[in-house]
Amino acid sequence: GALFDGLTRQPADPLLGLTALFEADRRPDRLDLGVGVFRDEQGATPIMRSVKAAEGRLLERQDTKAYLGTEGDPLFVRYLADLVLGPERADDPRLTGIQTPGGTGALRLGAELLAGARPDATVWIGTPTWPNHAPIFRQAGLSVRMHRFFDPSRSDVDLDAMLADLANARPGDVVVLHGCCHNPTGVTLTAAQWALVVRFCSTRGLVPFVDLAYHGLGDGLEADVAPTLALLEAMPEALLAYSCDKNFGLYRDRVGALWVQGATPGSATLVRGHLQALARSMWSMPPDHGAAIVREILTESVLKEDWKAELETMRGRINGLRAALAALHPALAPIGRQRGMFALLPVTPANVAALRVDHGIYMADSGRINIAGLRTASIDRFVKQLGPFLP
State the residues that interact with ligand PMP by CB under 6 A: 36, 102-104, 130, 178, 183, 211, 213, 243, 245, 256
Q: Tell me if residue 132 falls in helix, strand or coil.
A: coil
Supply the minimum distance, in Å, between the C-beta of residue 107 and ligand PMP.
6
Distance separating alpha carbons of residues 140 and 186, to the nearest angstrom: 27
Q: How far is the CB of 217 from ligand PMP (least distance, A)?
A: 11
Helix (H) or strand (E) holding 343: strand 342-344
Give the dihedral sign, CA 220/223/227/232: positive
Instruction: Please say which residue, 176 or 386, places its beta carbon nearer to ligand PMP.
Output: 176
**Minimum CB–partner distance for residue 314 and ligand PMP (Å):** 15
Candidates 53, 81, 169, 246; catalytic one = 246
Separation of CA 338 from chain center = 15
Nearer to ligand PMP, 243 or 351 (CB): 243
- Pairing of β 150-151 and β 256-261: unpaired
User: How near is the Cβ of 232 to ligand PMP at its closest, in Å?
Assistant: 18
| Upstream peptide bond of 184 is cis (omega within 30 degrees of 0) | yes
Q: How many CA atoms lie within 13 A of 74 on its CB side?
A: 5
d(CA 148, CA 143) in angstroms, rounded, equals 17
Where would I find the beta strands (DSSP E) of 129-279? 143-148, 150-151, 156-157, 174-178, 207-212, 238-243, 256-261
Among 98, 90, 71, 57, residue whose Cα is nearest residue 300? 57
Q: Which of 53, 54, 213, 364 is catalytic?
A: 213
- The answer to whether 211 is a known catalytic residue is yes
Residues in the chain: 391
Catalytic residue among 32, 53, 90, 130: 130
| 159 SS3 class | helix
- Answer yes or no: 268 catalytic: no
Is 130 annotated in the active site? Answer: yes
Composition of the chain by helix, strand, coil, percent to 5: 50, 15, 35
The CB-of-247 to ligand PMP minimum distance in angstroms stands at: 10
Least distance in angstroms from the C-beta of 390 to ligand PMP = 25
Residue nearest ligand PMP (C-beta atom)? 102
- Residue 363 CB, shortest distance to ligand PMP, in Å, is 16
To the query of whether residue 213 is one of the catalytic residues in this protein, the response is yes
CB nearer to ligand PMP: give 105 or 262.
Answer: 105
Q: Each residue of 246-281: b (16+ CB within 10 Å) or e? A: bbbbbbebbbbbbbbbbeeeebbeebbebbeebbee
CB nearer to ligand PMP: give 159 or 213: 213
**Quick check: 171 and 206 in contact, CB under 8 A?**
yes
d(CA 221, CA 108) in angstroms, rounded, equals: 25
**Residues identified as active-site:** 130, 211, 213, 246
